[in-house]
């Protein structure tokens, strides 16, 4: 009993670590850092994902009233000139708003700060933010939970598969079931709400999230098939676990849905911005 509890604890830790890695390594995690201006450290955190319901706020903590700045942005990927929007002071912060974009539309942007004759830019390579539609909590939460629980059972199956007398079969079927529900059942709804597509993976496209889901389910389907008739196929289970490890090592939302700007009219320059 003690050994079983230990293996469950290890499986949960593995799943949690994979979840944290997916969030923090992905292209939607904020770009964080700091610049030095006037002898003061100015921290920055630039968001890389925003809902289509409105413009994306940009906010910089800058208590020094001598610090001013602007945000340079353009649609990504394009060769358009950067547009400039001024950062306005609101107390101890400088704020601006990037214009709202259609679902899957991306902007690249960077903050440019000045103080007297000093100038700094962050980040040196513009951050890329992607706009998406709002996904209802009733869809998103069960999707995330199903994928996480599936990962727990996958790790648990792997631990059993590594034991000479282990029985991974029930954990294999549980992992497969949760991955099917979370990835194939709820995943397309998440994709549809966020980007207007039900499936953007093979054979319709190269969306990496959808293709990772497909590979994940196929790996555990193969492991489940190998377990038929009460068999205990250690190699097949470990192989499925290695595929899962590879899938979750790839940052979440990498190579995700991206709007083709050639099919969208170029943005108008407003009175609050200028081109450079």
Query: Is residue 20 a part of any domain in this protein?
Result: yes
Cβ atoms of residues 129 and 122 within 8 Å? no
Between the alpha carbon of residue 257 and those of residues 20, 35, 93, 206, 207, the distances in Å are 22, 32, 33, 9, 6
pLDDT for the residue numbered 138:
97
- Residues in contact with 257: Cβ distance below 8 Å, sequence separation at least 6, in sequence order: 103, 104, 191, 194, 195, 197, 200, 207
Residue 60 has φ and ψ, to the nearest 5°, of: -125, 125
CB atoms within 10 A of CB 265: 6
The verdict on 211 and 245 lying in the same domain is yes
The verdict on 112 and 142 lying in the same domain is no
Q: Rounded to two decimals, what is the model's pTM?
A: 0.85
Range of the domain at 61: 31-133+265-275
Query: Is residue 123 a part of any domain in this protein?
Result: yes
Query: Is residue 85 a part of any domain in this protein?
Result: yes
Number of domains in the chain: 2
The verdict on 164 and 87 lying in the same domain is no
The verdict on 128 and 141 lying in the same domain is no
The verdict on 113 and 198 lying in the same domain is no
Query: Is residue 219 a part of any domain in this protein?
Result: yes
Query: Is residue 111 a part of any domain in this protein?
Result: yes
Show the low-confidence residues of the chain (pLDDT under 70): 1-3, 252-256, 267-276
The verdict on 98 and 226 lying in the same domain is no
Domain of 102, CATH number, reads 2.60.40.10
Give the single-character DSSP code of 104: T
Pick the closest to residue 171 from 239, 227, 246 (CA basis).
227
Cβ atoms of residues 213 and 187 within 8 Å? yes
pLDDT for the residue numbered 270:
46
Pick the closest to residue 274 from 71, 48, 46 (CA basis).
71
């Amino acid at each position: 009993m003690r050994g079983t509890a230990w293996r469950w604890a290890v499986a949960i830790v593995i799943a949690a670590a994979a979840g944290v890695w997916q969030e923090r390594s992905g292209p939607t995690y904020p770009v964080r850092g700091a610049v030095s201006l006037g002898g003061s450290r100015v921290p920055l955190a630039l968001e890389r994902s925003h809902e289509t319901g409105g413009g994306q706020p940009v906010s910089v903590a800058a208590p020094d009233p001598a610090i001013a700045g602007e945000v340079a942005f353009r649609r990504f990927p394009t060769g358009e000139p950067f547009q400039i929007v001024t950062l306005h002071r609101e107390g101890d912060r400088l704020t601006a708003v990037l214009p709202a974009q259609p679902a899957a539309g991306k902007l690249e942007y960077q903050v440019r700060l000045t103080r007297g004759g000093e100038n700094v830019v962050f980040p040196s390579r513009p951050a890329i933010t992607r706009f998406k539609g709002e996904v209802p909590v009733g869809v998103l939460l069960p999707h995330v939970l199903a994928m996480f629980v599936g990962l727990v059972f996958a790790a648990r199956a792997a631990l059993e598969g590594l034991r000479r007398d282990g029985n991974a079969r029930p954990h294999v079927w549980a992992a497969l079931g949760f991955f099917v529900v979370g990835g194939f059942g709820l995943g397309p709804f998440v994709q549809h709400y966020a980007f207007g597509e039900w499936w953007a993976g093979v054979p319709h496209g190269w969306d990496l999230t959808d293709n990772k889901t497909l590979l994940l389910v196929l790996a555990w389907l193969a492991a489940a098939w190998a377990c038929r008739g009460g068999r205990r196929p250690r190699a097949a289970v470990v192989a499925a676990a290695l595929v899962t490890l590879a899938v979750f090592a790839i940052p979440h939302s990498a190579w995700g849905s991206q709007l083709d700007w050639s099919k969208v009219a170029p943005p108008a320059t407003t009175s609050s911005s200028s081109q450079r």
